[in-house]
Structure 1
Amino acid sequence: MTVPAADADRPQGLKSDPGVKNPYPHLGFNPCPGRTDLVRDIHHRLTGCAKEMEKAHSKVTALMDGSYWEGDAAVAFRDQLEGGPLPLNLKNGARSVSKAAKQLHLWIIELEEFQRRAKKLDGEAEHAREALERARGRADGTGNDSAPVKGENRADDDADSALTRANAAAATAQEDLNDVLRRARALATEHEETARKRARHIGDATHKLAPHEPNAWEKLTNWAADNLPDILSACAAVLGVIALLGLTVVAPWVLFLAAGLLSGAAFSLRVTDPEVMSSLKDGFLHGELDAEFWSNTLGVAGDFLGMLPGLGAVLKGGYLGFRAIGESGELLSLAGEADEVLTLNQKLTRLGTNAMTSGRTMGSSIRTEAAATEGAVNILAKPWVFGGRLAPAVEAVDKPATYLGAGTAAYGVVSSAVDSLDSDTATTATNLLDGPRTLGVDIPATLGVLHFFVVGAGEAS
């Protein structure tokens, strides 16, 4: 079938012949075509396929290890598989199918929401069409009742005003209907863009399937893209260790701010990742507390906690710097009697000088605040917490906890690149190490920094 030129760039629901049923008669078109039952069935099948491939991989691995099958036949079988692609292909295939299934799961949720909105818009369109029909009927009736000659007496003027009001009401009703249809067309565009995005992600999920063998650069870029939040978190943790050990000529406060920036970037990537948010939602709302849920929870929490000190230092330092600029009269302004006799070049020069001075003042304030914040005391080490009895214990575990956090973060990055290190057991062990450290060390340390900000801001005020 030849596609009309006008349909080339339109979403499916807005094409001349979308090829699907329209359950929204009052809109006149289907802004979000799709069958959630069909997608749910495909998702179920893919999930089952991924589980079967994982089982097959486990069995092949066990046979390769020689723990279930011995004898000459077993040796010959292992010789045939040794160094071959089957185990890796099974593992990669299971992961790819599982990723595709997750994308379909997200699409089910999105499609249901699109169709819910379409149904609501269809109801609004029904009411808008009824209101338009009534308004047009009143306008037609008023027009028929009007005298053929207008303006000759008061009755004619009243009839003319009534007709004007009726026509205005009909125009308003038409605008209301047009607004509903405009929102429905926008919904069709949003549906199309989301569907294309999910299709791209499903296509990307097949990159590790057995028939496709990416080159070294593709492997590196795919790995970096898939694990960028973990890479940023690990870099932030390593910067913390470097600052703690003093193994650099760079000032510790610079590393402190850099680590906060990296944690902030990692946090932003995690909370905008649909897979991460779907895992968290399934865990908190549906009780699916698997290893992936705990890993994502600790990742988001760790990056958030790592971001707060640096962000707080910048905000507080910026506030104090701005106040210092105001107190010293360095605000960027050309007002004043003396400025009236200056030329434009002289005014621009003064503006540039003030800007540089203000910038240095602001930077110095942020640097001072970051240096002070970097040494903020853990909330559990405060004298008023349990009489200060926890201070020695906090000091004893602070450095080891920093090393442990950097170690688990680095291991997570390395294990994502080395298949032999990537396993559910390793993930569980890492979660068991990171969980108590986050609760017992990271959260109290961040609370100590926030306490420092509040006390410092109060004293400064």
Structure 2
Amino acid sequence: MTQPYPHLGFNPAPGNISAVSALKAKLTASVDTLAKAHRLVQQLQSCSSWEGDAAVAFREELDGVLPDNLKKAHTSLLKAADALDGWGRALHGYQGDAKKLDAEAKAAQDKFDVAKEREKNASNNPDLKLAHQTFDDAASLQNAQARLDKATAALNDARGSVTDAQDHLSSIKRRARDLESEHSSTARSKANSIRDATDKLAPEEPGWFGKAMDWLDDNLTDVLGTVAAITGLLALILSGPIGVAFLLIAATASAATLASRLSDPAVRASLKDAFTKGEFDADFWSNAVGVAGDTLGMVPGVGAVARGINGAARSAGAATEALTLTDHLASAGSKTWLAANRIAGADNPLTTWVVRGAANPERAGRMIDLGVAGAGAATGTYGTAKDLIGALDDDTVNSVGTGMDGARAGSFDGAGHGATALKTLKVLLDVGH
């Protein structure tokens, strides 16, 4: 794009007057249209020639917010058009001043160039080399001194002209910078006027809480998945009742993640298209691995609740006295907690097989289980982080994460939760009793 003020070296008054004028014309036309619409509504409200139920119903509608909104919109757009008109006139003046300053800068630059050339010629005067030379007689010395003084005076005068020209050019550019600041200040003022004039024409931008809630709604599945993965890791790290509590929280979060994931039409369509159209693409594998992982993550909680209810039902059947609903609930809760505690303490059969023969099988098995759970927490955290920071989203990393989750679900998680599900079925079916 061509620099409009080449001698200033920058544009102190940017803006397109034609565009401002065109926008102002459109706003003015809209103002006229709104004014006509408002007058028409008033005429219809006061019209006495139209009678009947339809007329009454129509006037009732007109008596609502429509007239007031038309009036507010008319006033707002009129103020915005006036602000644009003022900005257009101010911009025209600023650009006129910028052109004058650019012309002054050109003249000053020309003078500076002439002064520099004069300085160059003066500095090349051979008489300047007479300094510190010796002469045989007084007349020669006097003549040389006069020539040296004249050459020195000419050089000093040329240098003074260069300095003056440079100062003049700098002062012009400072005035241009002042013009730029004034232009920016006026532009901000007019922009605020337009914003204030039109603030009733559209809903206000949501605050940080509203934006956070919108983001959470858009990314709920990934957030719940991250919660499930991290609480699952904490269930392994922490022991006792706290670890059992985190186990149940992780299972609940997995169930919520599965529900959220399957409520997304895009996920359901991806899974359906894979089997009906053969579209086994990256989206399918990501969704399929997610569904599998969520389902496996539910198993400990579902197993604990199922075994707790089953145990409570058997206890109630064996009781000799009648039990209240509170008694039933308390019994189910107690037995659910006991079942969860047993599930939390159960060994993963695949881990046990992998570490057989190790010097310290228990320690090695715990390190493997923590590593597997940690990998799940890492991929889950990445899923939420990329939603929050778009720059982190990378197809390669996504593919690696899907592969890790798939491998984890198909190996250690599948074995551990599969064993839990099998034990739960045995308990429910009373196998071995």
Larger Rg: 2
TM-score range, shorter chain: 0.3 to 0.5
Question: What is the TM-score normalised by the length of structure 1?
Answer: 0.45
